[in-house]
Structures are given as C-alpha cells and as structure tokens.
Amino acid sequence: MRLLDWAVVVAYLIYIIWDGVRMTKHSGNAEGYFLANRSLPWWAVGLSVMATQLSAITLVGTTGQAYNDGMRFIQFYYGLPLAMVILCITAVPFFYRAKVFTAYEYLEKRFDLKTRTLTSFFFLISRGLGVGVIIAAPSVILSIVLGWSETATVFAMGLSTTVYTMVGGVQAVTWTDVKQMIIIFFGLFVCLFIILSKFPPEVSLGDALHLAGATGRLTTVDTTFDLKQTYTLWSGLVGGLFLMLAYFGCDQSQVQRFLTARSVGEGRTSLLMSAFVKIPMQFLILLVGVLVFVFYQFQPPPMIFNRVEQTKVEQGARAADYGALNAEYEKAFTARQAAAVEYVKNEDGDEATRAATRDAYLAANKNFNDARGRGLALVKEASGNKTFTDVNYVFPMFVVQNMPAGVIGLIIAAIFAAAMSSISAELNSLATATTIDFYRRHYKPEADDRHYVRVGRIATGVWGIFACFVALYATSLGSLIEVVNRFGSFFYGSLLGVFVLAVAVPRARSRGAFWGLLFGITSVWIASRFTDIAFLWFNVIGCLVVVVVGYLLSLTVRDPQAR
C-alpha cells in the first residue's frame, strides 16, 4: 500500500479505538456495561443488529463466493423478513418485559438451572467458534497487504478489537457499529463505481450482466427441491427461516442488541430495519463479486489468488509443473478474453450469431476454469492441504492490485469496520453470558455491580484470545461465509427448539427440554457426518428433534407441579 492508504487505515483505527474507549463513562454498572441501561434509539440498535451480522466475512467471503458461484447465495436470506416479523411479535416483547440480561435466564424460570446452563454453554461454544472465523477474514486481508504471517495478523486484529470492547461494553459496541456501517456502505459504493470505471470502453454494465448471466451467475431463484443443494429457494425459505429465528431470537449476540433499546416498540423497529435493508445490502455485496468476475474477463487474474501458497509452489519441487500449468492457464485466459469480446460485440446480432458466440464463450470459460482447477489441485497436492481454497483471497487481491491510492485504504478500512463491529458484538455477548449465566449464577451471586463489570471485562479478554486461536485454523476450511454459518447451523436449530418448547408448548417440562437439546445436537452431528444434507437444513432437523423428543419426554413427568 502507498502512504495515503496507510494514512486512511491508521486514521480509522485510531479514531474507532478512541471512540470505543471513551464510552467507559457509560459502563460503570452492570446494566450499563451489558445493556446500555436500555437507553438506545431504534436506528442505532438497528444498525448494530446489521453490523453484528455484517462481518468482514461478508465482504471477503461473499464477494469471493459470488466470483466463483454467482448470486445464488442471496437465497440464504429469503427467510429473513418473515423471521423478523415473527420475532417482533414474540421474542422482542417477551425478553424485554422479562427484564433479563441474557436470553437463557428465562429458561431457568421456565424449566430449571441445568437447562439454562446447558443452553448457554452451547451458545458459548457456537459463538466462540464463530467469532474466530470472523477474526480470520480481515487477517486474510492484512496478510496480503502487509506480507505478515496470518498468525501475527490474527492476533493484531483480534486483540485490538478486544481492547475497546473490554473497556466500553455494549455502549462502545453499538455506537462504533453505527459509524462503522457508514464506512462500510460508503466503501461498497466507491468500490462498485471503480470496478465499472475499469471495464473496457466498449463494455457497458448491461454487457457485463449479460456475460455474468451467460455463466449462470445472476441466478437468484433456484426452485429445485434437493436437500443436498445448499442454496435454493426452499433451503432459504425453510432452512433459512429456522436459522434466522434461532440467530436473531435465541443467540445472545442479537438478543442483547434489541434489549438495549428504549422500549419494546423501538426494539421491534430495529429488527424490521434489518428485515428490509439486509437483502438489498447483501445483493449489492454479491453484485460486487460478480462484477469482479466480469472485470477478470478482460484483465488476466492470477491462477492462484493466495500469493503465499503460489510463491511456495513456484519455488518448490513442483515449480516446473506449476510453470507449465500457468502457461496453459494464460493461454486459456487469452482465448476466453477473445470469446468474451466477441460475445459482447454480437449481443445485438441475429439469434443464430448470438447463440454461436455464447456457446463459444461458455466453452472458452470452461477451459479456463478447468485450467485454474488443475492449478488449485497442484497447490493442494504440493502443500498437503486437501481443503485448500483461495476463494477468500479473490476480493483482497483485486483491491490491492487494481484500486487507486486512497481507495485501497478506504476499502480496507471498510473491511476492518465490518470485522470490528462483529467481533466486538460477539465478544460482548460471550462475556455477558459467561458473567451472568455462569459466574454470577454459579459462583458469586451476591457481588456488587462493579465486580460483575470487572469480571465481564476479564471474560471479554479471555474470549478474545480463544477466538484468535480458532482463527488460526479457519482460513483453511473453505469459504468463510459458509464456514461461519456451518458452525452456527450445528447449534442454532437445537437452541431454537428449546425456546419453542419454553414458549409454545405448555406441557413441556425441564426433563424434556434438557434431553431434547442433547438429542437435537446429536441428530445434527449424525446428519452432518453420515448424510450429504446441506447445512441450512440442520437448523430444521435440530429444532424438530428437540421439540418432538422434548415433548415426548415431558409426557413421562407425572408431577403436575414439576417444571
């Protein structure tokens, strides 16, 4: 990066950490530190809800996935608006009026202590893993830009965010989220404008969309009903609905957001804001990835976007093989470039000509992808990493190699903003659950507020370090946007099932809820281990198993007074 880019990034980091630390004055008591004294306006809470979900994974992983696979991922969010309406009617007034710090406190009142503890424990595991993946995404950026090891960048990113979260609590999280969302939106629109300006003069936005559409990258609705397909209309509407209900209604990182609102009405409005803005925002991010794909139809992309692994192979025992494959790859790119130009040129021609040039372009694109696939296979073989993928490196490399001075710094600052907003929110929720559901409930129930705030800060630091270690392994697991949702889907459906039993099944008892949760988690593990069912359906499986098993076991409790 050039000096101007460094200035932008450093100025952003200094400001955001200072802004978070100055919130210390609002965090002297437990309710202030963990719930901002329930005093935040709906628009700030709404932006914080979106920022918590919009991590650097979204900017890095989603754009890379759109480059490889197109817009199909948008179907993941089709269940979101309905989920938000349901939660506005049920969860928001329910938790807000219960005057709880965590969602899991209610489960002790409804069932018993062991059900509350087990549910909170599974939340801590799922979020602890998830925040590690969230830290991994910006670390990918830093390792490329700075040439640092991923270990150094993981701890630099994770611990810097941990500092202001420890000090400022949820006040710092929310108000820095607001500022970070502004930076993210601005960075996205600047990035979109720059990409379009770098297309060849004869290629318009319409031409770009035709090229992307020819390869299937503009598909936003797939009506195929196949449990093995990850992104279809049905997996989004059904599996996505269950996932969103669980995430926004049972996950402390989101429940804590609307519990900070001034009233039930403002809490509801904050969720509805996300319901109506999230899908257009996700569409914009995916579109950026698709347009990066179109850009690389006319400019040669690297065969391997992860330049660290590329350098290792180029300088290793398989250097000759890599060189031969790279020559084949460059030849395939030249052929695809010519076919793309010809396809665009004949877009207004007769039907036969359009069909012929389209078929020629698709054939050239297939040959290009096959050559790249052989390059990826060589890296996997040479490195011994069978899960190697460079999908998370596509967008960072595009930014670093093609954006002008200043803009690189702005976009990296936007990625930092996305990362820090999610990391801070997750760490704060992990600290809240640890302090309230475990430390205060099991160890020291009679301490004063200052003591619990101090414990919350220590817990934030511990979870920050834990997440950094998880992050060290996350980048090798595939598309980060899929990895984080896969982690969540192992737990979310089962957690949702416990709350369904608590709220909607009067006959449910603690025995059913406790063992139903264990059966639900086990059923998801079995489905993931022994079937090819797509991970979005795990949320449905987990929830249904918990409800059915929990209800049946509850029938074995004969004491009408038992919880």
397-428 pLDDT per residue, tens: 888 888 888 888 888 887 777 777 778 888 88
Closest CA to 480 of 104, 57, 141, 38: 57
Name the burial class of residue 193, with classes exposed (0-12), middle (13-18) and buried (19+) by CB atoms within 10 angstroms of its CB: exposed
The span from the CA of 236 to the CA of 243, in Å, is: 9
3-state class (DSSP) for residue 242: helix
Angle at 262 between CA 245 and CA 436, to 5 degrees: 65
CATH of 3-296+399-444+469-554, one of 1.10.3720.10, 1.20.1730.10, 3.40.50.720, 3.30.420.40: 1.20.1730.10
What is the per-residue burial (b if ≥16 Cβ within 10 Å, else e) of 512-533? bbbbbbebbbebbeebbeeeeb
- Between 18 and 344, residue with greater pLDDT: 344
Q: What is the mean pLDDT of the chain?
A: 84
Listed in sequence order, the residues at least 6 apart from 501 whose beta carbon sits closer than 8 Å to its beta carbon are 508, 512, 513, 516, 546, 547, 550, 551, 554
| Token pair of 238 as six digits | 């059904």
The span from the CA of 345 to the CA of 340, in Å, is: 9
Residue 333 has a pLDDT of: 93
Closest CA to 156 of 175, 166, 143: 143
Q: Has residue 482 got a pLDDT over 70?
A: no
Q: Has residue 170 got a pLDDT over 80?
A: no
Percentage of the chain exceeding pLDDT 90: 17
Identify any residues that bridge with 261 across adjacent strands, giving them in sequence order: 40
> Residue ranges of the domains in the chain?
3-296+399-444+469-554, 316-389
Residue 201 has a pLDDT of: 85
Average pLDDT over residues 300-314: 84
Residue 28 has a pLDDT of: 59
Name the burial class of residue 254, with classes exposed (0-12), middle (13-18) and buried (19+) by CB atoms within 10 angstroms of its CB: buried
The span from the CA of 177 to the CA of 429, in Å, is: 14
Residue 519 has a pLDDT of: 95
Residue 244 has a pLDDT of: 87
